[in-house]
Amino acid sequence: MSDASTEPRGGGPGSGLRSRLGAGLVVARSAAARLSRSRRLRAFLPAIAVGLCAALVGVAVLTAGGELTTVAEQPHEAVSGFPGADVTPDPPPAAGVTPATITPTPTPTPTPVAGDPGSGSGAGAGAGGTVLTGGAPTRLTFGMHVSQIDEGAWPSVSVGTFRIWNADSTWGALEPSPGQWNFARLDARVEMARARGASVLLVLSHPPGWASSRPDLQGYNGSPAPPRDVAEWRNYVATVAARYAGRIEAYEIWNEPNLAQFFVGSPQQLGELTRVAAEAINANDSQALVVSAGFSARTGGAESYFREYVASGIASAIDVVGIHIYPYPGSGPESMVGLAQRFRSIASSAGLSGKPMWNTEIGYGRTPDYLVSETAAASLVLRTYLVLPAAGLVRNYWYMWDDREFIGLYMVGSDRRSPTGAAYRFAEAQQWLAGAQVERCSDGSGAWVCTLQHADGPSVTIAWSLSGEVSVPVPAGATIAYAFGGDSSGATAGAAYSVGTTPVLFAPGPLPSLG
């Protein structure tokens, strides 16, 4: 939507109310789409998104009296998938009964597991803890969402790809009546991204009431229920793919389907919708990538739902595995490495080991007692785009550029235009990381230490601590240390150097790109 009051604010942060509203239409017809070689190769190109994520406006549920009731917008600090709390899914309610809000329960801290050949990284436990090998950030690794794009709120920093998921881009918004299409706003957003050199990732989801198997359920300018007829779903996807052939790079099949405010169908129904969508996309734009549904990874029951979904026969239909990872309040991307690797392991067991994984939503939330400080924000930006690609998440779509109500790490000031220090660090992180191969990241001796090799430059080392000051040895050959967002100073190889939560880059000499 064009204003913050009506813009859905993202599946990941707005995850809560883990309640079943009933099963939708059982979709028949299966035909797995074979992937073209060109799309498979392109899927491995790390990319970034700037997108329109969505907010928690609410989902309509049927009351005992048969009338529609809207579940009120939930503050992000009180819902799952966003830093602060998680919930465990409850059984489906009886027909005609309004589901109760679930009491949040913490999710156990994830434990890193070994990476697999298709993850783009390996992870394991070394003498000091986690060890990651691999990852190659590019400009396209740095993703973004924007809520007020219609008011010209395009980021003032470089972004590589733009994720569109909002009330003006769902099926319900595009085809409110059978055969009556409204592409004006989506056209404008796609062209705005392309004019700035950003690729586009579009979420396909939410049928209009007339096409829903549960027209009584409404939310996000469409219905969270599966479509009543798979043929109508196919036509919707084909129409969009044909219109934007060569202009939209990738399509994500549904947003956070493991949360009932977004999808009330089964994993098997979602698998069928994914396969049908892939067929329609391939037939109308053979170069477009198909991304699996982006799961809210921290939500209770997410892994079991994801396991059923990827086992439903989607391996040959998709090019990319989608996931949404939001760190807990007060923690950083390092805490999510184990969770990312667990989802990768599940995907691999279903024949998806050769597919790249994209984190199509990533952000840092707020609670009544926690807001990310400006110093911490700068550190988190760089660490996010270094650690997560090393963990196999080749794209990471920041949620979001211009949100200040629910997001605790501000990219813009109160005017929703002026960039903050974190926004400048987003640009600086690209200078530090884009074009580098991450050779190794480890968390031994109280500090994280990552070595990177630039194709057209020297090998460098980046080090930081998660809290307090820690001494690390200056790497061999290093003569200068750059503080992220700060100044540089001399360094002596082999000598002890104190690092804190602000990352420090050690280089063998001055790097012109860093000043």
Of 434 and 506, which is predicted with more confidence? 506
- Mean pLDDT over all residues of the chain? 78
pLDDT in tens, 221-248: 899 999 999 999 999 999 999 999 999 9
| Structural contact between residues 501 and 375, judged by C-beta atoms closer than 8 angstroms | yes
- Of the candidates 281, 170, 293, 215, the one whose C-alpha atom is nearest the C-alpha of residue 22 is 215
**CB–CB of 403/146 below 8 Å?**
no
If you ran DSSP here, which 8-state letter would residue 350 be given? I
Q: With 0.85 as the threshold, say if the pTM is over it.
A: no
Mean pLDDT computed over 134-151: 85
Residues 6 or more apart whose CB falls under 8 angstroms from that of 196 comprise 154, 159
Residue 502: per-residue pLDDT = 94
Contact 295, 324 (CB under 8 A): yes
Amino acid at 505: L
The amino acid that residue 320 corresponds to is V
Pick 305 or 70 by higher pLDDT.
305
**Spatial separation of the C-alpha atoms in residues 432 and 463, rounded to whole Å:** 13
Domain boundaries, the chain: 37-58+107-435, 443-514
Averaged pLDDT, 196-204: 96
pLDDT at 17 over 60: no
pLDDT in tens, 445-470: 889 999 999 888 899 999 999 999 99
Amino acid code (one letter) for 153: A
Superfamily of domain 37-58+107-435, CATH level 4: Glycosidases (3.20.20.80)
- Residue 59 binned pLDDT confidence (cut-offs 50, 70, 90): very low
Rounded to 5°, the CA angle 146-151-156 comes to: 55
Give strand pairing partners of 144. 50, 162
Whether the per-residue pLDDT at 6 is higher than 80: the answer is no
Residue 103 DSSP label: P
Strand runs (DSSP E) across 257-367, as ranges?
Answer: 289-291, 295-296, 321-324, 357-362
Res. 503: pLDDT tops 70: yes
The full length of the chain comes to 515
What angle do helix axes 374-390 and 337-347 make, rounded to 10 degrees?
30
CB 191 within 8 A of CB 140: no
Nearest to 279 by CA among 247, 248, 318: 318
Closest C-alpha among 148, 466, 143 to residue 323:
143
Across residues 169-195, what is the average pLDDT? 95
DSSP state of 203: E
Q: Please answer whether residues 412 and 148 qualify as being in contact, where contact means their C-beta atoms are separated by less than 8 angstroms.
A: no
Q: Is residue 43 scored above 90 in pLDDT?
A: no
Comparing CA positions, the residue from 281, 232, 219 lying closest to residue 252 is 281
Q: Which of 43 and 303 is assigned the larger pLDDT?
A: 303
> What pLDDT is recorded for position 105?
24
| Residue showing tokens 């000051």 | 469
pLDDT for the residue 275: 99
Report the range of poorest mean pLDDT among 66-75, 270-279, 375-384, 415-424: 66-75
Sign of the torsion angle spanned by Cα atoms 377, 383, 386, 392: negative
Of the pLDDT bands very low, low, confident and very high (cuts 50, 70, 90), residue 152 is low
Percent of the chain with pLDDT over 90: 61
Distance CA 367, CA 377 (A): 15
